[in-house]
Amino acid sequence: MIASSIHNNPKQGFISIYSYLGGALLGLELNNKFNVFVLGELYQFEITKITPEKTINNTIL
């Protein structure tokens, strides 16, 4: 789940929109592949599943 920096908690699946990974996810669709370059390292990912949004305190983010 892409979230605001206030709700950022990768262990619970909330990734900040302001992080390298969160920013790279914006606008992608199922089966899209993308790269993220972080601190001199290149990481490759693929979108394999999209699920309905999560909520925090019963509010859809």
Residue 60 pLDDT > 60: no
Q: Does residue 61 have a pLDDT over 70?
A: no
Give the tokens for residue 6: 């206030």
Instruction: Give me the sign of the Cα torsion angle 44, 49, 52, 58.
Output: negative
CB atoms within 10 A of CB 60: 8
pLDDT of res. 30:
93
Q: What pLDDT, on the 0 to 100 scale, is given for residue 59?
A: 59
Quote the pTM value: 0.61
- pLDDT, tens digit, 9 for 90 and up, residues 11-53: 887 888 888 888 888 889 999 999 998 889 999 999 998 877 6
> What's the confidence (pLDDT) of residue 57?
63
